[in-house]
Amino acid sequence: MKKFFGKIINYIKNTAWIQPLLIVCVIFLILFLLQPIANGISSIVSCIGNKNSMTEVTFKEYTELVEEAAQKGTDEEPIQFIVVFTQDGCEHCETMRPYINHYIKRNEDVKIYNVDVTFNSSKSRFNDKTIKGSTVHEGLGKLDARINEFYQEGNSVNAEPDESSDLSLLGTPTFMWYVNGLEVRIDVNPATPENHAGFSEYIKFPDSKDYANWDEPFVAEDLLN
């Protein structure tokens, strides 16, 4: 076998016209493989950017987090976290996700929770089985009303109520900043910041003087049907 391959190698070495042909073949092979390799790298980068770095919780767990913060948080030792409501097929949610991932990677001390509010219309139920109701309004109407109450108290949510919709204000993504169980800021369907530095400025908690214009924590479990 060694003699056989040795003869082939010697033949190639001694045959001048074969060498350029082999070089051309190698070049074409490299060019042929470059695109699949580039596509593979792009897919890997995309997956990394679109993975969910937020802590996923159910709707019920979200209400429990709010209740616990309201009971245990103090002015001296506040319990702060951000809740982001998303759903499958939400283009703005996917656009925002890499910014969130980038921020979490550099700010691990900030707690950001993710609640999936996807409604499966073919099965008339939510993917999250802790959200009860056979319609969007039945499952999320109380949370929507809470956001609307926040808005009616004169606080901005960067959206206007749409009374013709199942949910007048709640959309995806919706960001809610909590301090000791109280919403200090709500942003419905925010515009994507142009860069990560802009997102860092966007996501930070407001100063206490800029908290929302209300001070009544609610019984979060009332959101559950």
Q: Note if the pTM is more than 0.75.
A: yes
Question: Per-residue pLDDT tens for 83-94?
Answer: 999 999 999 999
- Give the burial class of 179: count Cβ atoms within 10 A of its Cβ; 0-12 exposed, 13-18 middle, 19 or more buried: buried
The dihedrals phi and psi of 148, each to the nearest 5 degrees, come to -65, -40
The dihedrals phi and psi of 19, each to the nearest 5 degrees, come to -60, -50
Question: Per-residue pLDDT tens for 42-88?
Answer: 444 444 446 889 999 999 999 999 999 999 999 999 999 999 999 99
